[in-house]
Amino acid sequence: MAAGRGASAVPGAAERHDPLPHVDGEGRYVPGLCAGLVLALEQVPARVDLAAFPVLRALVRGGPAALVKLAGRHGFVPEPTYSSPRDLCTHVRLFLFRHAAAPGFPELGPPGFYDADSVGGYGL
């Protein structure tokens, strides 16, 4: 298939409905992994120091299970079931943003993503 108008730069992204990496209106880099993760634009395209971004590090190294483990150290207790891994990931990140030391998780953003009007439910 030839790349053209509307073609995805990420192989398979259109089929999976994954968001594409982009820069938001505030000048933050949104890596396209999932909503609610951002990096300062000046850190891209440099190599990202995962030690500075614990949520991103957990996701890259161990997926949602590693993120649950990280959040558990801050008091997170998962629900018995989730509709998808993305639902679990959103719940964990919402917990970390609202109840843990959010400045310790600079990749969680933009703040508006985590307000009650944007992400409801989860009993948080």
More confident residue, 122 or 104: 104
Domain-located, residue 1: no
**pLDDT score recorded for residue 86:** 84
Give the number of other CB atoms < 10 A from CB of residue 108. Answer: 24
Q: For residue range 26-69, what is the model confidence (pLDDT) as tens digits?
A: 777 666 667 788 887 777 766 778 888 899 899 889 988 999 99
**pLDDT score recorded for residue 15:** 45
39-40 β-sheet, strand order: 22-23, 28-30, 39-40
**pLDDT score recorded for residue 73:** 92
**pLDDT score recorded for residue 71:** 94
Residue 70: domain span: 14-114
**pLDDT score recorded for residue 50:** 86
Domain-located, residue 98: yes
The three-state secondary structure class of 64 is helix
The three-state secondary structure class of 58 is helix
CA distance 122 to 124: 5
Q: How many domains does the chain have?
A: 1
> pTM of the full predicted structure?
0.71
C-alpha distances in Å from residue 91, one per residue of 38, 44, 79, 97:
17, 27, 9, 10
Whether 21 has a pLDDT exceeding 90, the answer reads no
CA distance 116 to 14: 29
Domain-located, residue 84: yes
Q: For residue range 61-100, what is the model confidence (pLDDT) as tens digits?
A: 998 899 999 999 999 999 999 998 888 988 999 999 888 7
Domain-located, residue 8: no
Domain-located, residue 58: yes
